[in-house]
């Protein structure tokens, strides 16, 4: 049972008031601060700012105060006790945590703050003939598994002859756009790449969960997130004939050495469909869905010295280097360069400083790549849901 199936069923109004249904309530944990955009005044003191979303499910900030870290969010959704999906009958034993997990992953992608699933705290049944106290069923909280969260960022206290001052490194609060997120949720189940968007969101969400503790694994997951959606969006795309022949130059020469003429050899090589062009699709996706002005944009989540981040002119080379180093890490166990961790901790490795001093480029830090991946997927998703253009252009 996935979020996409839930939204389809909700759109068909399958959970009618007179039917037997239940309402599940989960706690989500956000390693950041969300608030409804468009609120005038101090939203931190307004209970009206607690309501993030009403449909197709409810998201309500439960934290006291609203901007506590981590922020606790109540997730509530309803489901019929018996519903037919794809010819099968589902009962209340369906995996409600799967739906909550999909919602948390999608929120992580859309809000660019880590959102994880805590425990289910309550399930209330409606429409049953016989009343029973257990129809309002409580779930354990004291011994419930605590969801993953980021570590609160420490403050810096500066002391000099001119006095003392404090620097905070907390991420900026994020305005939760009800209209745009509701639109995405409404269109997502009908998109040809809807399932792949959700799969990419899960990989991205796990990368965000591990980015502080295991940046190398998080880097791999970010690449995987791009491959997941790029393979779907660009499934009918391939490199130009010239690029294909260049990538198979050794095979082309081997065929020509057998006495086959150049034209026939090229025709044979182009008939080989075994190459999925993963690297090409990876580069093409990021180059298509990241605008030039977004490559060097300010970051409201992570901070890293600009001299260690790729510039516009270096973008294509940077993403190609990322894919190459990722392949070495995956297939040969070669660790990523030290610069990959810049922005996660305040220290800069000495070898990275020496590399920059020599005027050489460094491997892109994960905090830069994470922002690029998030930007590309969100831009792609935005183009998908435009009514006049259901499939994103990759020209």
The predicted-structure confidence for 188-242, as pLDDT tens digits, reads as follows 999 999 999 999 999 999 999 999 999 999 999 999 999 999 999 998 887 777 7
Provide Rg for the chain, Cα atoms. Answer: 25
Cα–Cα dist 382/342, whole Å? 30
Query: Does 157 fall in a domain?
Result: no
Residues 177 and 228 both lie in one domain: no
Query: Does 84 fall in a domain?
Result: yes
Quick check: 329 pLDDT over 80?
yes
What are the pLDDT digits (tens) for 336-360?
A: 999 999 988 778 888 899 888 898 8
Residues 115 and 217 both lie in one domain: no
pLDDT at residue 205 in the model:
98
Residues 143 and 26 both lie in one domain: yes
pLDDT at residue 210 in the model:
97
Query: Does 48 fall in a domain?
Result: yes
Domain, as residue range, for 304: 196-238+277-384
Q: Which of 72-81, 111-120, 253-262, 348-357 has the highest mean pLDDT?
A: 111-120
Residues 145 and 204 both lie in one domain: no
The structure tokens listed for 179 are 């209209």
- Mean pLDDT for 114-124 is 91
Query: Does 332 fall in a domain?
Result: yes
| Residue 212 CB-half CA count within 13 A | 12
- Mean pLDDT for 244-266 is 76
pLDDT band at 105 (very low <50, low <70, confident <90, very high): very high
Helix axes 278-289, 315-332, angle to 10 degrees: 140
Query: Does 60 fall in a domain?
Result: yes
- Mean pLDDT for 58-75 is 94
pLDDT band at 264 (very low <50, low <70, confident <90, very high): confident
User: Beta-carbon neighbour count of residue 85 at 10 Å?
Assistant: 15
Query: Does 246 fall in a domain?
Result: no
Residues 119 and 100 both lie in one domain: yes
Residues 61 and 207 both lie in one domain: no
Residues 90 and 109 both lie in one domain: yes
Residues 40 and 84 both lie in one domain: yes
Cα–Cα dist 3/193, whole Å? 14
- Mean pLDDT for 98-111 is 96
Residues 373 and 224 both lie in one domain: yes
Prediction pTM value = 0.86
Residues 17 and 121 both lie in one domain: yes
pLDDT at residue 265 in the model:
76
Query: Does 257 fall in a domain?
Result: no
Cα–Cα dist 198/183, whole Å? 15
Quick check: 142 pLDDT over 60?
yes
pLDDT at residue 308 in the model:
92
Q: How many domains does the chain have?
A: 2
Residues 98 and 122 both lie in one domain: yes
Residues 136 and 201 both lie in one domain: no
Query: Does 164 fall in a domain?
Result: no
Cα–Cα dist 388/395, whole Å? 17
Quick check: 251 pLDDT over 80?
no
């Amino acid at each position: 049972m996935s979020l996409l199936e839930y939204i389809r069923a909700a759109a068909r109004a399958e959970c009618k008031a007179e039917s037997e249904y239940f309402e599940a309530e989960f706690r989500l944990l956000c390693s950041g601060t969300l608030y409804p955009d468009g609120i005038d005044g101090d939203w931190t003191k307004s209970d009206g700012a607690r309501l993030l979303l009403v449909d197709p499910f409810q998201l309500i900030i439960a934290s006291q105060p609203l901007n506590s870290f981590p922020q606790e969010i109540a997730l509530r959704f309803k489901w019929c006790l018996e519903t037919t999906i794809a010819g099968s009958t589902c009962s209340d034993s369906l995996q409600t945590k799967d739906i909550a997990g999909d919602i948390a992953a999608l929120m992580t992608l859309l809000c660019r703050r880590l959102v994880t699933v805590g425990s289910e705290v309550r399930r209330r049944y409606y429409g049953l003939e016989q009343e029973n106290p257990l129809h309002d069923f409580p779930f354990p909280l004291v011994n419930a598994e605590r969801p993953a969260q980021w570590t609160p960022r420490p403050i810096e206290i500066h002391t000099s002859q001119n006095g003392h001052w404090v620097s905070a490194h907390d991420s900026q609060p994020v305005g939760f756009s009800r209209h745009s997120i509701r639109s995405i949720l409404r269109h997502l189940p009908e998109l040809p790449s809807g399932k792949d968007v959700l799969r990419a969101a899960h990989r991205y969400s796990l990368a965000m969960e591990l980015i502080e503790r295991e940046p190398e694994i998080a880097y791999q997951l970010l690449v995987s997130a791009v491959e997941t959606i790029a393979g779907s969006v660009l499934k009918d795309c391939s490199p130009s004939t010239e690029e294909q022949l260049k990538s198979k130059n050794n095979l082309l020469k081997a065929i020509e050495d057998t006495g086959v003429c150049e034209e026939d050899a090229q025709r044979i090589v182009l008939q080989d469909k075994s190459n999925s062009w993963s690297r090409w699709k990876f580069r093409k996706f990021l180059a298509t869905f990241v605008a030039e002005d977004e490559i060097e944009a300010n970051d409201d989540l992570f901070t890293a010295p600009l001299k260690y981040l790729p510039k516009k002119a270096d973008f294509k080379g940077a993403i190609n280097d990322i894919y190459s180093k990722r392949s070495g890490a995956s297939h040969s166990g070669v660790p990523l360069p030290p610069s990959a961790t810049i922005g996660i901790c305040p220290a800069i490795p000495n070898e990275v400083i020496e590399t920059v001093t020599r005027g050489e480029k460094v491997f892109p830090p994960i905090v830069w790549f994470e922002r690029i991946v998030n930007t590309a997927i969100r831009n792609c998703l935005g183009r998908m849901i435009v009514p006049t253009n259901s499939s994103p252009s990759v020209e």
